[in-house]
Amino acid sequence: MPSRTAQQQIEVTRHTMRILDEWGIPGKNIITLLGLPDKIRLRHLDRYRDGEAFPESSEIMERVTHIAGIADALRTTFPRNSHMGVIWMQTPHRRFQNQTPLHILLEQGLNGLRMVRSELDCAFSWDESLNHFK
């Protein structure tokens, strides 16, 4: 993954926080979903919203990449109504054993992010299937 400037990291952090807030994920669950260190407290989330970058970690950046991919896929799926993406994230789906995509994200962490992204993004899903054959 190419390195980003400090300002780019801040922008990525803010964008990610906006997505998670839009999806209605509570603060405690944001910390878990992002894989933030245990020392992070709820009050730190406001710092991320206001201009502090996430800690440098390849796992956090992988999670952020999946969150951005899910958000982009939702925008593509529902181009005329952005609120439909939020509704989709909060609606139980048979492919997730009648659980909501948000539940899958929160219960399964990184694997859940991959599952939900694969459901929405056929290009990502295709790339993932090819990686299994390598």
Q: Is residue 98 part of a domain?
A: yes
Kind plus residue range of the DSSP H or E element containing 25 = none
In tens digits, what is the pLDDT along the chain, a chain of 134 residues?
457 899 999 999 999 999 999 999 999 999 999 999 988 899 999 999 999 999 999 999 999 999 999 999 999 999 999 899 999 999 999 999 999 999 999 999 999 999 999 999 887 766 555 554 45
Q: Is residue 61 part of a domain?
A: yes
Q: How many domains, the chain?
A: 1
Q: Is residue 103 part of a domain?
A: yes
What's the number of CA atoms in the CB half-sphere (13 Å) around residue 110?
9
Q: Is residue 1 part of a domain?
A: no
Q: Domain span at residue 13?
A: 6-132
pTM of the model: 0.88
